[in-house]
Structure 1
């Protein structure tokens, strides 16, 4: 019995080490991004909001020239306005759409709508972003980059 237990423990340790040391192919991390939390309102304690988005989060996001938000998607609705510079957004079709200062955008919800925002300009880009989530949902979920040409 002791030999079987030791073999099982060894197998678990080897499996855990393999997972920990394996290269990550999923997340595409942001770079050159500064996030300033502005405010958050959580109304999830009120029963009339049980099935509706109940957490409202507001942030100012600055993307340095050459910076990226990393590929990701949202479980909840997101609306944003670009207040400085420009942000170029790509979805899985890899077609760039650029939003300049004064323009707004909204994000489509769910893992089928992976996207990235990049600052291709020479100055900082700034966005004010509002996230509408249910309690417990993350603001975004990292995702692998699609196979773009």
Structure 2
């Protein structure tokens, strides 16, 4: 009797709850998130290839991100000199309303793990700059 055998083994977890940290970042300034009225929460992984950028935009809420990989150059009026560089492991907190953009000026992909907390019905990123503060 030649019955088929399998060398593959199924991976089974007996734990009723598991958690996986996707990224951990630090922000020395602390975080306060507030959105007026009903809001949506979106989690997104964004990859910027070398030379790519987000384009100028603003948000109708806030976002919190961690740089999972690479170096992001962030242009915004909230920084002294209008620019800040974020490295792998850094946290980014963006408030509502102000115009900014992120650019990958390096030679490797920038990967961001982003949580948006945005007013319901608003786009995650507003590119009509007349609607920004």
**TM-score, normalization: structure 1?**
0.57
Distance 1:61 1:114, change over 3 A: same
User: Cα deviations across residues 87-127 of structure 1 (Å, max 9, x unaligned)?
Assistant: 000014762210000000111211xx100000010000000
State the Cα distance separating 1:143 from its structure 2 match. 4.6
Report the aligned-residue RMSD.
1.7
Alignment length, in residue pairs?
92
Superposition pairs of residues 89-100 of structure 1, within 5 angstroms = 89-92=74-77, 95-100=82-87
User: Cα deviations across residues 3-57 of structure 1 (Å, max 9, x unaligned)?
Assistant: xxxxxxxxxxxxxxxxxxxxxxxxxxxxxxxxxxxxxxxxxxxxxxxx5453100
Whether contact under 8 Å (1:83, 1:125) holds in the other structure is yes
Whether contact under 8 Å (1:82, 1:99) holds in the other structure is yes
User: Cα deviations across residues 56-106 of structure 1 (Å, max 9, x unaligned)?
Assistant: 001000000000000000001111000000100001476221000000011
The higher relative CO (CA closer than 8 Å, separation ≥ 6) is in 2
Whether contact under 8 Å (1:84, 1:124) holds in the other structure is yes
Following TM superposition, where does structure 1 have runs of at least 4 consecutive aligned residues deviating by more than 3 angstroms? Answer: none
Whether contact under 8 Å (2:59, 2:118) holds in the other structure is no
Task: Show structure 1 runs of 5+ residues with no match.
Answer: 1-50, 145-149
Question: Higher helix share goes to which structure?
Answer: 1
Task: Show structure 2 runs of 5+ residues with no match.
Answer: 1-35
Question: Higher strand share goes to which structure?
Answer: 1
Matched, 1:129 2:114: yes
**TM-score, normalization: structure 2?**
0.64
Matched, 1:74 2:59: yes
- In 2, the alpha carbon distance for the partners of 1:130 and 1:117 equals 16
